[in-house]
A and B are shown apart, each in its own frame.
Chain A
Amino acid sequence: MAISKEAYKVLESIVGAEYISADPAICEGYRAGPGGYECGLGYERVMTRVPGCVAMPRTTEEVQKIVKACNRYKIPYVPYSTGFYGPRSHPHVSDALLIDLKRMDDFEIDDKHLYAVVGSGVIYSQLQEEAMKRGLYIVIGGGGSQVSAIANMIGDGWSPLSYRVGLPHRRILGTELILPDGELVRLGSLAFQDDSFWSEGPGPDLRGLLRGFTGHRGFLGIVTKMAIKLLPFQPERLVPSGISPHTSLQLPVNRVRWINFTMPSKDAMRQTMVEMAKAEIGAGVTKVPIFWRVIARAKSKEEFWELWSKETEETIKNFHVLRVLLIGFTSEEQLEYEERVLMDIITPLGGEARRTRPTDESWFKNADSAGMWLMCGGYVSVDYVIETLEHSIPHGENYAKLKRNFTPPLMPDYGDPGWFQSFELGHQGYSEFLVYWDPDENTDGVDQFYLETSKENIRKRFYTSLLGSHQPLYLTGPAYGPNYHKWLLKIKDEFDPQFICHPPVPLNHDVFVERAKWLHPQKDWESPELPKLS
């Protein structure tokens, strides 16, 4: 235990002996991986460390005291809730304190004013269930329903439901944030009073520090409480059915309806999205990639591969299925109206409705739970970008071309360009590009592809969510903003002068490139001296 006995005693006095441990067996439980997002890659191997100590606070006051103690004793610390976001959520330096927030799991809902006040340990599953009991709903992001709602709200937080509901950072209301130096700042209405129903504080909106496009993994402090805006749903219950793991929600077809359409072309899909948005109908609309369907059909990993190996470049290229979700928020008549309008749009574009089961396996409740994706033992989104539909479609196609140079070790996907969907009633378009690999093989190519996507975005002037701590800061910084990295680092310096809150984030990927020799041939940008880490 490198944390001094004195410091340990101080931390113990804050949370109690029961909720702190430096026992190697306990700390080992917080090792990054195996399995899940970004696992088994070079980043996990060279960047993650088992924590030197774990503390589990119960309250904001305890978190604040811990952070102040860390500043006093110069102990690097990492906030941690459910740890879904793979190795980037874990300590990157030896002898760090991992602050596990799962005991902060209280929440309450004001259903009249459409918000829930949640602690950092509250997961989406429980929140969505309680919201739905009250005729409300929330977007469960791609991380799945077992992830911390707060971590997801300041990390990613979107799904096909974002078509109607909008971006997650618009749903962050009153929030408590412990800054890296231990100062407490209350955002939104909490800046004035105890009620957290409102989002903006007086003047400039400090929610700007909570996240960028996608989150920064807690390098600017720890959110201990957040009010999250809920959205009105429809009044009927979605009834669970089946036996785990084959469970689903039965949709009330008079209020909630899925329709899958086969479409003649990608352009017809895009045009449908544009026209739906102008007509202001729908609660979700996405291109279905063939990969999803194979996953849905397969009952085992082996069956997945059997089915997947039957696909070809041609089947992928000619697979155009559009999935539309309609919800009668107002009434059953609204649903009928929207279906009429949808058919009016899609029929001339060549869309044909397919029989679609009135059940939901992933969008409302479970989201894209991690288990669905583990066909290879590990996966990562090399990009998920929200811009416009005009941006999203070529973005995915471009990645597919680039990926050919790195397959294998990447899983063969026959040129699949990922998927795209419409967000914020067509004001935005989303594209996501996942990659899978065999963790038993050399995965250097995965790391190389991941890095190359960043350079490709810069070359082709695409936007990307994976800035900040997700790619080398000194590579992306000059190309976006320009020089967003300078501002980011100035802010980090101001609030974390000792650089102890999740070091070396946001320079983590820069450090990774320096440590990973297999990436050196790709390094053609200038970096100043990087922090030395143990």
Chain B
Amino acid sequence: MSIREGLLKLVGSEKFTDDPKVLKEYSTDFSLAPSGVPNYVVKPKKTEDVQRVIKFANEHSIPVIPVSSSAHFYGTTIPKQGGIVLDLTGMNKIFEIDELNRRVRIEAGVTWEQLTSELGKKGFRMIMPLLPHPLRSVVTDYLEREMPTNTVYDYGEPLQGMEVVWPTGEIFRTGSASVTGYPDSPSKGGMPSGPGLDFYRLLQGAQGTMGVVTWANLKIECLPKIDKILFAPVRELDYAIEFLYRVLRIRIGQECLLLNNTNLATVIADDWSTDFEKLRASLPPWTLILVISGMQRDPEGKIQYEEQALDKILRNEFPEIHLANNLPGFPSLGKKLLPMLRKPWPKKVTYWKKRYKGGCQSLFFITKPTSASKFITKIEEIAAKHGYPISDIGGYLQPIEHNRACHLEFNFFYDPASHSEAERVRSLYDEAAKILLSEGALFTRPYGEELTKLVYERAADYTMTLRRVKKIFDPNNIMNPGNLCF
């Protein structure tokens, strides 16, 4: 029996296709990664379908590429060696919203659009990355450690107990979801750790190379009763960063981030053709955005003490930070941006990273906030060298964990139809990655062939250990081969 016949027999014709037109849809994404076509696409409906396909693939050493979103930005779901795309977008059930324990259990295909809408109806929210694509999988984004804009919760990570199909085809549940008979059990899946080891950690940042997560429990939070969004124009970034060291350390605020003028204009432009350039020209180089919120009880009281503390710090220690309800000259900015921070990007509007030129290559890493300026200067130098306009670079600085670290992101916009623009961004990206890595940038989520290679060469002992672990779970290297160091 051929592979094709075997797969068809396993899953049935409704869940299987090898139509070249469909295969082609999986061969590219919004990144500059080279295209690659799968041999087959299977659309499972339940865990057992996933298990059957993986067992079969493992027996025949066929690559399996798990895909759970309909929008991809990093090239990780492009088949590098052909194989079977396991498209989980149809596994999109929200199993339960557990209000008592502030937990939700969802399948891998549940999107930001779907989840935020359902949670909102019950007065809950996720802590969210910045303006995710509405069709991105929530589970994948958290597995891939997308950085939330909310910095105040000391416990951070929302992932709890989950189910995975290992590359051998064995089904496994992590954390407290591992009890026999789950979810028919007193154990709700609210603990990520164990059993025996922290298996869930091995699935994080794995780009689908360690197994297929089919569902996960995630923490949810109550929607605040009152929010106040505050802005400060930032001309001297280091000064603003010092301010954040001060205020985030005393647990003021919920969402907190900095965007440069290009990115903020990209996000808030209503009518692109008339607004973008005007906004970009008039916005300050960077804008600090801070949301303070009143929670379930006495919301005014919470806002009040946070405002009092802020006022005192601003007056006595940071007189040059002008934090206000709106940016000078942008009276309706607060009203517009606040709801955006709690939702994915609207489906009807071109995704913000694609609005400017249609394509966007993002370079991001973790660093200490004190090093942010150094990296920005360096990026500008490299961009200039490649003839990329500095004014076109999107900038995003996300404070993490009371500002003890930050996610620093540069967005290089380009016209994907223009070969020369795409090539320029590609070479800029590769060189910038190399230089920034040598200057101490932590690429904990390496994407792109060149960057990944550099990172794993540098982290040699980590790489060797990762490969040893990977071999235990995936002896035939079938899970998404060609990514990371596998």
Contacts and interface: CB of A to CB of B under 8 A. Distances in A.
Contacts of B153: 166, 425
A285 to B, nearest CB: 15
Contact of A484 (B182, B196, B370, B443): B196
A390 interface: yes
B404 interface: yes
B176 A391 contact: yes
B296 A200 contact: no
A212 B462 contact: no
A3 interface: no
Interface in B44-85: none
A390 B186 contact: yes
Contacts of B181: 461
Contacts of B176: 387, 391, 463
A424 to B, nearest CB: 4
B483 to A, nearest CB: 8
B186 A331 contact: no
Given A232-B251, A331-B309, A490 B472 contact: yes
Contact of B182 (A204, A386, A461): A461
A481 interface: yes
Contacts of A195: 368, 440
A114 interface: yes
Interface string A401-439: 000000000000000000000001111110000000000
Interface stretch (A276-284, A309-317, A510-518): A276-284
A483 B187 CA distance: 18
Contacts of B456: 202
Nearest to A274: B100
Nearest to A335: B305
A111 to B, nearest CB: 10
Given A113-B404, A481-B178, A387 B196 contact: no
Given A114-B404, A186-B461, A394-B186, A341 B250 contact: no
A206 B405 contact: no
Nearest to B177: A463
A4 interface: no
Contacts of A482: 172, 178, 180
Contacts of A387: 176, 186-188, 190-191
B462 A206 contact: yes
B187 A330 contact: no
Given A193-B440, A394-B186, A204 B195 contact: no
Q: Taking chain A's interface residues, is the majority helix, strand, or loop, or is none over half, making it mixed?
A: mixed
A166 B199 contact: no
A183 interface: yes
A216 B442 contact: no
B308 A201 contact: no
Interface stretch (B19-27, B111-119, B202-210, B270-278): B202-210
Given A333-B305, A337-B302, A395-B186, A212 B468 contact: no
Contacts of B187: 387-388, 391, 461-463
Contacts of A460: 186
Given A166-B154, A274-B100, A209 B469 contact: yes
Given A213-B195, A390-B100, A232 B186 contact: no
B210 A204 contact: yes
A436 B308 CA distance: 50
B455 interface: yes
Contact of A115 (B200, B404, B458, B485): B404
Interface in A154-180: 164-167, 169-170, 179
B102 interface: yes
Contacts of A458: 180
B1 interface: no
Interface in B439-463: 440, 442-446, 455-456, 458-459, 461-462
Given A207-B201, A387-B188, A491-B469, A232 B249 contact: yes
Contacts of B332: none
A461 B184 contact: yes
B473 to A, nearest CB: 8
B448 to A, nearest CB: 13
A278 B305 CA distance: 19
Interface string B164-196: 000000101101101111101111101101111
B401 interface: yes
B103 A331 contact: no
A203 interface: yes
Q: Which of A179, A189, A210 is the most central at the interface, judged by chain B CB atoms within 10 Å of its CB?
A: A189
A191 interface: yes
Contact of A330 (B145, B309, B462): B309
A36 B301 CA distance: 47
A248 to B, nearest CB: 26
B381 interface: no
Interface string B78-94: 00000000000000000
Q: Which of B178, B462, B469 is the most central at the interface, judged by chain A CB atoms within 10 Å of its CB?
A: B462
Given A201-B459, A202-B459, A205-B201, A216 B196 contact: yes
B201 A206 contact: yes
Nearest to B252: A330
A183 to B, nearest CB: 7
A43 B103 CA distance: 39
Nearest to A194: B440
Contacts of B180: 458, 461, 479-480, 482
Contacts of B170: 483
Contacts of B427: none
Given A189-B442, A388-B188, A480 B308 contact: no
Contacts of B446: 202-203
A198 interface: yes
Q: Which of A205, A385, A395 is the most central at the interface, judged by chain B CB atoms within 10 Å of its CB?
A: A205
A200 B444 contact: yes
Given A427-B155, A487-B197, A202 B191 contact: no
Contacts of A151: none
A115 B473 CA distance: 33
A334 interface: yes
Contacts of B323: none
A202 B209 CA distance: 13
B297 interface: yes
A397 to B, nearest CB: 11
A341 B295 CA distance: 11
B320 to A, nearest CB: 20
A370 B297 CA distance: 39
B226 interface: no
Contact of B195 (A186, A203, A212): A212
B295 A279 contact: yes
B154 A164 contact: yes
A201 B444 contact: yes
Given A192-B459, A330-B251, A208 B485 contact: no
B199 A487 contact: yes
B193 A480 contact: no
10 contacts: A166-B154, A183-B461, A185-B462, A200-B145, A203-B445, A210-B198, A275-B296, A330-B309, A390-B188, A427-B190
Rank and list the top 7 A-B pairs by shortest CB-CB distance, nearest first.
A166-B155, A208-B201, A213-B194, A461-B185, A463-B176, A191-B462, A333-B305
Given A166-B153, A387-B176, A424-B155, 7 more contacts: A184-B461, A185-B465, A192-B442, A192-B458, A232-B402, A331-B250, A463-B187
Interface of A: 112-115, 164-167, 169-170, 179, 183-187, 189, 191-193, 195, 197-198, 200-214, 216, 229, 231-232, 274-275, 277-281, 329-331, 333-334, 336-337, 340-341, 344-345, 385-391, 394-395, 424-429, 458, 460-463, 465, 467-468, 476-477, 479-485, 487-488, 490-491, 494-495, 506
Interface of B: 100-103, 145, 153-157, 160, 170, 172-173, 175-176, 178-182, 184-188, 190-191, 193-207, 209-210, 219, 222, 245, 249-252, 295-298, 301-302, 304-306, 308-309, 366, 368, 370, 401-402, 404-405, 437, 440, 442-446, 455-456, 458-459, 461-462, 464-466, 468-473, 484-485
